[in-house]
Amino acid sequence: MSAREHGNDPLPPEVVRSLRCSVCGDPVGAADRTVRCGRGHSFDVAKQGYVNLLHARIPAGTADTAPMVAARVDLLSSGAYRPLADALAKVASEHVENGLIIDAGAGTGYYLARVLDAVPAACGLALDVSAVALRRAARAHARAGAAVWNLWEPWPVASSSASLILNVFAPRNAPQFHRVLTADGLLVVATPNPGHLRELGDLVISVDGGKDARLEETLGERFSRVDRLDVTQRVTLSPAQVRQVVEMGPSAHHLHREGRRERLDAITGPVDVTTSFSVTLYRPVP
């Protein structure tokens, strides 16, 4: 994995060409650590290399916090979810030769970086509402740029500009997926299966059996499913990794309930768990 080294032009030119001003929708350019459109709307590029295109506050509890991001970095660095990253990289290498790959809800950029390694002629754009997470994503790969954005809003990205959109455990904005993908582009959605981390009980938020139906309902009008892969394995987690799994996701917000924090802290030995994901491939419907 090739990390990005930031200079005077921290965003890859290919990524800048795909961006649009989040105020007026015009194309933008980048110079002197500023992204600016022709009408003078400008957005500073942070020292960590990402650009914040938001111009409104987001609701509290929407973005990942620093502790959540730290837990995720540690857990992903351990390789516990590497089979999922490998599956996404394999799909990308089989279906994409070049162009722009957008990771919608990229977090720290872990999956995007693995995919870019598998597609050497592509560049990547990490979109996420968490500036804390994008500090990591902006440096995750030399061919990736990162922009803070609320995925539920119309994206500041040119229409028909992406050859591949990744969506890993993140909000699914079907109209924007469809608008931003090229006509022959690919949408790859990764979701947890109902048995994911079942051994941890209510320490993690369970996945109900209606997930697939909801996914099809969300995407069905604009996309046609072309394939689906299951990625399931048994993993032995240390007590520290169990805490990371719980604290890196939405379950972290519920640890104060019903003695969950105490039960989590009481885990002192390794725990065998099941990690189980679905990777579903979609093509846009004309």
Fill in the amino acid letter for 281.
Answer: L
Say whether 39 sits in a helix, a strand or coil.
coil
Fill in the amino acid letter for 164.
Answer: L
Q: What is the pTM of this model?
A: 0.92
Q: Is 141 annotated as a binding residue?
A: no
CA 186 to each of CA 25, 127, 154, 163, 180: distance values in angstroms, whole numbers, following the listed order: 24, 17, 19, 6, 11
Domain 48-284, architecture per CATH: 3-Layer(aba) Sandwich (3.40)
Q: Is 95 annotated as a binding residue?
A: no
C-alpha angle 125/130/136, rounded to 5°?
60
Q: What pLDDT sits at residue 63?
A: 80
Q: Is 256 annotated as a binding residue?
A: no
Say whether 235 sits in a helix, a strand or coil.
strand
Q: Read off the pLDDT of each residue in 115-119 and give the average, rounded to a whole number.
A: 98
Q: Is 109 annotated as a binding residue?
A: yes
Q: Read off the pLDDT of each residue in 247-270 and give the average, rounded to a whole number.
A: 82
> Residue 191 half-sphere exposure, CB side, CA atoms within 13 Å?
19
Share of the chain above pLDDT 90, in %: 76
Say whether 53 sits in a helix, a strand or coil.
coil
Q: What band does 7 get if pLDDT is binned at 50, 70 and 90?
A: very low
What torsion, rounded to 10 degrees, do the Cα atoms 90, 93, 95, 101 define? 100
Orientation angle between helical segments 239-247 and 66-77, nearest 10 degrees: 130
What does the domain layout of the chain look like in residue ranges? 48-284
pLDDT, tens only, 192-234: 999 999 999 888 877 777 777 888 888 989 999 999 999 999 9
- Choice between 240 and 256, residue whose per-residue pLDDT is larger: 240
d(CA 113, CA 117): 6
Q: Is 50 annotated as a binding residue?
A: no
Q: Is 37 annotated as a binding residue?
A: yes
